[in-house]
């Protein structure tokens, strides 16, 4: 639509310029009765409308409502309402109107969305994302702590595990949540992790993820219980024939040979 601003000449400081980088405005604008009834966004749009006209140094200005809404940071509904207010208070005259836009403003067939302010909408979107993430991630901080412990132990015993270094502990935390759901105490999980990676020739090279750790839980706790009954006994896999020495575990970790190849060489 095309608008004409009434008494725009009063704002000009140099009428001969093609574009006005600044214009005169009274300090009494904050108490101007013609602006009474407008909300802060709509009052700001009036200032923006004067700026649009000043850029052309003309009392007439072409307004595209979606573009004006984007530039001023005010929703289209409020802009249309403000234009009607300016018109009724003889602040502007409409030379050429967009009938569909004015019709929407006058009839107000559809309900106004209160989150039309861009900043409010962005903040609301951020809050929704945080809530959705919390709903997806059902684990507790203790689960994440256990996942970080397991990751650090794997990297400590196998420095060549590059893929493990890049793993996000959050992806592992849910496995510890499921262990807790089965009735396992977090302190027991922590003890078993420390035991499994403290000189154990079977579990240290074979457990490379939280999923594997959870799958081997019953077997690990069985060996862990035996080691507590016999403190001097070396913690090994129950099947002695498949247990690896430190040197063999290092070969397996480097990927030089498979477990079957290492066991076959013994024979």
**Last-in-domain residue among 98, 114, 131:** 131
| pLDDT tens profile 93-125 | 888 776 544 434 433 333 334 444 555 566 666
Got the DSSP string for 152-193? HHHHHH-TT-HHHHT--HHHHHHHHHHHHHTT--HHHHHHHH
Specify whether 27 is located in the same domain as 104.
yes
Specify whether 154 is located in the same domain as 256.
yes
Specify whether 107 is located in the same domain as 182.
no
Considering its fold, how many domains does the chain have in total? 2
Specify whether 124 is located in the same domain as 142.
no
Separation of alpha carbons 204 and 196, rounded Å: 6
**Last-in-domain residue among 79, 112, 131:** 131
| pLDDT tens profile 163-215 | 777 788 888 888 899 999 888 889 999 999 988 888 666 787 788 888 989 99
The answer to whether 58 and 16 are in contact (CB under 8 A) is no
**Last-in-domain residue among 102, 131, 160:** 131
- pTM of structure: 0.38
Specify whether 251 is located in the same domain as 172.
yes
pLDDT at 62: 86
Specify whether 151 is located in the same domain as 44.
no
Q: Structural domain of residue 149, as residue ranges?
A: 138-266
Specify whether 84 is located in the same domain as 144.
no
Separation of alpha carbons 230 and 227, rounded Å: 5
With vertex at residue 183, the alpha carbon angle to CA 180 and CA 186, rounded to the nearest 5 degrees, is 45
pLDDT at 32 over 50: yes
């Amino acid at each position: 639509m095309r608008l004409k601003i009434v008494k725009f000449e009063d704002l000009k400081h140099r009428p001969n310029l093609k574009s006005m980088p600044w214009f005169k405005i009274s300090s009494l604008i904050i108490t101007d009765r013609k602006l009474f009834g407008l909300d802060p966004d709509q009052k700001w749009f009036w200032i923006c409308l004067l700026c649009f006209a000043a850029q052309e140094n003309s009392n007439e200005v072409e307004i595209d409502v979606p573009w004006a809404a984007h530039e001023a940071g005010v929703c289209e509904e409020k802009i249309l309402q403000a234009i009607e207010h300016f018109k009724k208070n003889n602040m502007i005259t409409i030379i050429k109107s967009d009938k569909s836009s004015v019709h929407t403003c006058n009839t107000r067939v559809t309900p106004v969305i209160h989150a039309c302010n861009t900043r409010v909408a962005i903040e609301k979107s951020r809050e929704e994302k945080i809530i959705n993430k919390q709903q997806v991630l059902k684990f507790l901080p203790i689960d994440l702590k256990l996942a970080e412990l397991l990751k650090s132990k794997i990297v400590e015993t196998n420095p060549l595990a590059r893929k493990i270094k890049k793993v996000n502990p959050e992806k592992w935390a849910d496995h510890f949540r499921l262990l807790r759901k089965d009735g396992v105490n977090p302190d027991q999980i922590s003890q078993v992790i420390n035991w499994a990676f403290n000189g154990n020739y079977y579990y240290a090279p074979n457990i490379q993820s939280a999923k594997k750790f959870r799958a081997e839980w019953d077997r690990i706790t069985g060996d862990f219980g035996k080691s507590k009954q016999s403190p001097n006994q070396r913690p090994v896999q129950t099947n002695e024939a498949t247990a690896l020495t430190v040197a063999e575990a290092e070969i397996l970790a480097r990927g030089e040979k498979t477990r079957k190849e290492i066991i076959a060489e013994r024979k």
